[in-house]
């Protein structure tokens, strides 16, 4: 079974892991400026409150301008096997998801961190979607057809169920600079089969 052994569980405090993504109609996540603009704005709205660990792929980290940082209520971990030092404005370098689990689930951060937010990109989303801690997908669905060259990975919409409404999440169609979007949350249903 995919259950963690009792020994492993006893070492870590489990943390909720949420994915945050802005995608247009074809589930494209890169190239249009508004994907990033609306995405970052909604991210800041969502992480207000307690401290969060934001998890970035190396490519996504460097795709964001310095002006993005600092973000409120956020510690930043960058995933990479090629970097040897923590990038400017980031706090931690992780070489795999096990590193992330240890970082967020063990002292000293375990007491501080409420949620791990997976910021992308596609490579990191793919692994996060199958991670046992991943229980929510925050998808800002931008109702437009942008030309994109990176896409959000397919996920099982029978396992992750679209919520009709969700605390703290605006419902209905939003609009910014003539661009319409919806803030959707998909919640993982934990059944006997998992």
Ligand X SMILES: NC(=O)c1ccc[n+]([C@@H]2O[C@H](COP(=O)([O-])OP(=O)(O)OC[C@H]3O[C@@H](n4cnc5c(N)ncnc54)[C@H](OP(=O)(O)O)[C@@H]3O)[C@@H](O)[C@H]2O)c1
Site residues (CB under 6 A) for ligand X?
21-22, 29-30, 35, 39, 57-60, 63, 79-83, 95-97, 119-124, 127, 150
Which CB atom, from 2 or from 82, has the smaller least distance to ligand X? Answer: 82
Contacts by 162-166 with C-beta closer than 8 Å and gap 24+? 162/186, 163/187
The backbone torsions φ and ψ at residue 5, rounded to the nearest 5 degrees and listed phi first, read -70, 155
Which residue matches tokens 């945050």?
A: 20
Of 113 and 128, the one with the shorter C-beta distance to ligand X is 128
Burial string for 119-136 (b: 16+ CB within 10 Å, else e) reads: bbbbebbebbbeeebbbb
Report in angstroms how near the CB of residue 36 gets to ligand X at its nearest: 6
Min dist CB 37 to ligand X, Å, is 10
Q: Toward ligand X, which CB reaches closer, 113 or 181? A: 181
Nearer to ligand X, 63 or 144 (CB): 63
Q: Contact, 79 vs 96, CB < 8 A?
A: yes
Please, what is the minimum distance in Å from the beta carbon of residue 138 to ligand X? 10
């Amino acid at each position: 079974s995919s259950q963690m052994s009792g020994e492993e569980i006893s070492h870590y405090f489990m943390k909720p892991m949420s994915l945050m993504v802005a995608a247009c109609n074809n589930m494209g996540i890169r190239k249009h400026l508004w994907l990033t603009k609306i995405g970052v704005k909604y991210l800041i709205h969502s992480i207000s409150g307690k401290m969060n660990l934001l998890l970035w792929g190396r490519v996504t980290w460097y795709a964001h301008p310095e002006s993005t940082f600092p973000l409120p209520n956020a510690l930043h971990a960058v995933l990479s096997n090629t970097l040897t030092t923590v990038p400017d404005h980031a706090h931690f370098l992780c070489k795999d998801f096990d590193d992330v689990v240890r970082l967020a689930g063990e002292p000293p951060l375990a007491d501080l961190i409420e949620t791990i937010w997976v910021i992308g990109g596609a490579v990191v989303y793919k692994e996060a979607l199958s991670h046992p801690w991943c229980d929510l997908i925050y998808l800002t669905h931008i109702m437009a057809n942008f030309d994109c060259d990176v896409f959000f990975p397919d996920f099982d919409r029978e396992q992750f169920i679209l919520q009709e409404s969700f605390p703290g999440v605006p419902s209905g169609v939003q609009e910014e600079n003539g661009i319409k979007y919806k803030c959707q949350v998909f919640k993982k249903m934990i059944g006997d089969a998992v």
